[in-house]
Structure formats: structure tokens, C-alpha cells
Amino acid sequence: MENDQPRLREPGILSNLLPSNAKCEIPNVAYLPEETSWLNQNAFTPFLEEVRVERVSEIDRISAHVELSLTELIQKADEEIGRAALEFDKKTAGAAGRLAQAETRHSELLQRRERRRQELQRQKSLTLQSIERITSVLILPHPERETPEVRKLQPNLETETIAMKVALEYERAQGRQVYDVHEKNLGYDITSLDVNSGELRLIEVKGIGGQTGTIVLTPNEKRVAEDRRDCYWLYCTSSAEMRQIKP
């Protein structure tokens, strides 16, 4: 919640939370029923529409292929019927059997095309069913949030904004394709790609307000840094300079 308004967040943000052993009073909101109408409108329905667009596009491509291939087979069956009919008119031996086979083949292809059309049309119909809630998480202010150990973990928005700007400008100056992904809680803030060499950087940006200071990686950032050692970069900015540190 932000200003009493619901907000969608990536589940990875949960790995950034700090556990506490201190007991605290559970607020009444924990016992209220979950607001499913907001989820339907802001999460489930948009997700359904996103999947629908992808599904319809895929089915349209399949439909075009089916129409092309089956129409070609039906045309060949038509030609076979024509040839068999001419032979039948000439009373050629076995022509009646070949004509019957060609007509049967033609009928089967028409039915097959119609079945495929109906199947593909049904596949375009999508609905949300049996949505299962896995869990709910109640996030409370850390009871030790005013202690020096916890306060130093809290980011300074102004410092972080400046740090992001410095890092983005630096990467763009190198001629890279740069994308700001810090709001997605991926464990890094920037993706940077060198289109010539293909080098990819997943960049976590940390800002220090003074000449010196301490930075802390969240559990999610640490996990990604360990998993993606080949391309994970940590950029630290201070009021004096920017330093690049690669694990």
C-alpha cells in the first residue's frame, strides 16, 4: 500500500525484507477479507488480455498455415475428381472407383478444414478460472528501524536518483543500449548491452552521499550477483567520483 492505495509489486521485493525476532502487535487489517475486485481489475484482467493478444497472434499464424495447406490439398482433390469424372464418362475401367475415392477424399478434406477452423476459434476464447491464492504477507515497519544498524540500510531517495543518473549517462556515453529496470525488483537496476560485442551488463547502482561510506546488498541483489557472475556489475557513486566494481 502507498498512501492507502493498492500497488502491484514484483514478488522479488519480498527477498529484500528484513526479518525481526521482536514481537509486535498485529494490526486489524490482517484480519480483513482480501480485496479481490481490485486484483481482478488491476492484475488478473490485464494479465488475461496480455495472454489473449499473444494467443490470438499465434493462432492467426497457425490459421493462415492451415488454410493455405488444406486449401491446396482440396484443390488437388478437385482436380483428381475432374480427371476421374472424364475417365468415367469415357467408361474407362476402374474409373467409377477412382471417382468415388476422389470424392471421399475431397469431402474428408473439407470436414478436416472446418474442424480445424472451429478448434482454432475455440482456442481464442480465454477465461480466468480456479485462481489459487498461495499466501498473503503482512509487512510491518521493522521494530528496530531507528537503530543505527537498520537505519544505514534505508536508501536515500535523492542520493539514489543522482547515482542512477550518473550510471545511466556513463553507460550511454559508451554507446551501449541502456534500460532502467530499477522498479522491477530484479536484483539489479540497469541492463546495458554493447550491440557490437554482445556484452551484457546487469548493473546494480549504489549511491553514497559523502566522500566515503558503506553500501549494502539486499538478499535479492546478492543472490543475483552470485548467480550471474559473468555479467553482474556493481556501480558505486559518491560525490567525488564513480567507481565500477565487478564481483
pTM of the model: 0.49
- Domain presence at residue 113: yes
Q: What is the mean pLDDT of the chain?
A: 83
Q: How many domains does the chain have?
A: 2
Domain that holds residue 96: 36-123
Question: Is the domain of 118 the same as that of 177?
Answer: no
Average pLDDT of the residues in 209-232: 82
* pLDDT at position 115 over 70: yes
Confidence of residue 139 (pLDDT cuts 50, 70, 90): confident
Residue 170 is assigned to a structural domain of this protein: yes
Residue 27 lies in a domain: no
Q: Is residue 169 domain-shared with residue 115, that is, in the same domain?
A: no
- Considering only CA atoms, which of 247, 183, 190 is closest in space to residue 215? 247
Q: CATH number, domain at 231?
A: 3.40.1350.10
Query: For residue 242, what pLDDT is reported?
Result: 45
Boundary of a domain, candidates 79, 106, 123: 123
- What average pLDDT does this structure show over 107-112? 92
- pLDDT value of residue 3: 56
Cα separation, 205 vs 182, in Å, equals 9
Q: Are residues 241 and 154 in the same domain?
A: yes
Query: 154 with 90, same domain?
Result: no
The highest-confidence range among 33-37, 98-102, 154-158, by mean pLDDT, is 98-102
Find out whether 232 and 215 touch, Cβ atoms under 8 Å.
no
Instruction: Report the pLDDT value the prediction gives residue 91, as an integer from 0 to 100.
Output: 84
Residue 6 has what DSSP assignment? -
Is residue 184 situated within a structural domain? yes
Bigger pLDDT: 86 vs 141: 86
* Within a domain: 133: no
Q: Which amino acid is at 76?
A: K
pLDDT at 113: 92
Where is the domain boundary, 89, 123, 157? 123
**Nearest-5° angle of CA 13, CA 16, CA 18?**
130
Is pLDDT larger for residue 243 or for residue 68? 68
